Amino acid sequence: MELVDYCRRENKKQSIPYILIVDNPDFEYVACLHSEEFKNQPVDRFIKEVFHYKSIDTFKSDQNIYEFLNSDNRSYQHMLEKCKKQKKYLMNECKREKRSFSVSVKNTIIEKDNLSNKGTNIDEFFSIIDW
């Protein structure tokens, strides 16, 4: 909560927006969402059997992971569609001003009841940068 409180204080100053992105449980889960084949099976097994990586460490250290996750039948768009349907633990209420190309965070909301749900709010980031 310290990080959330810090970001809330900074966002009240109306300086550079602090947009928190939370992946629950981790990056590997969100990476699997890039595949239409992923149906919430165990992430480590999916990465090994479907993505054909030797280990999670090999997957995480891949210098070309962005290209891999957005090639063939994988896409960040699959991930975004799945994210929109998930209950989120953290949400940022953002305001975009197209005229000045500015973004501000009006509120950061924590939904403690959703902490046990797998999910991410990275779709908020994509909606912000999609001018």
Which of the two residues, 103 and 129, has the higher pLDDT score? 103
> Within this chain, do residues 75 and 109 fall inside the same structural domain, yes or no?
no
The pTM score is 0.80
> Within this chain, do residues 95 and 80 fall inside the same structural domain, yes or no?
no
> Within this chain, do residues 42 and 81 fall inside the same structural domain, yes or no?
yes
Number of domains in the chain: 2
> Within this chain, do residues 64 and 79 fall inside the same structural domain, yes or no?
yes
- Domain range for 47 is 27-85
pLDDT digit string, tens, across residues 58-91:
999 999 999 999 999 999 999 999 998 899 999 9
> Within this chain, do residues 17 and 38 fall inside the same structural domain, yes or no?
no
Q: Measured in Å, how far apart are the chain's first and last C-alpha atoms?
A: 30
> Within this chain, do residues 31 and 77 fall inside the same structural domain, yes or no?
yes
> Within this chain, do residues 78 and 101 fall inside the same structural domain, yes or no?
no
Alpha helix ranges (H) inside the chain? 2-12, 27-32, 43-49, 56-60, 65-69, 76-84, 122-129
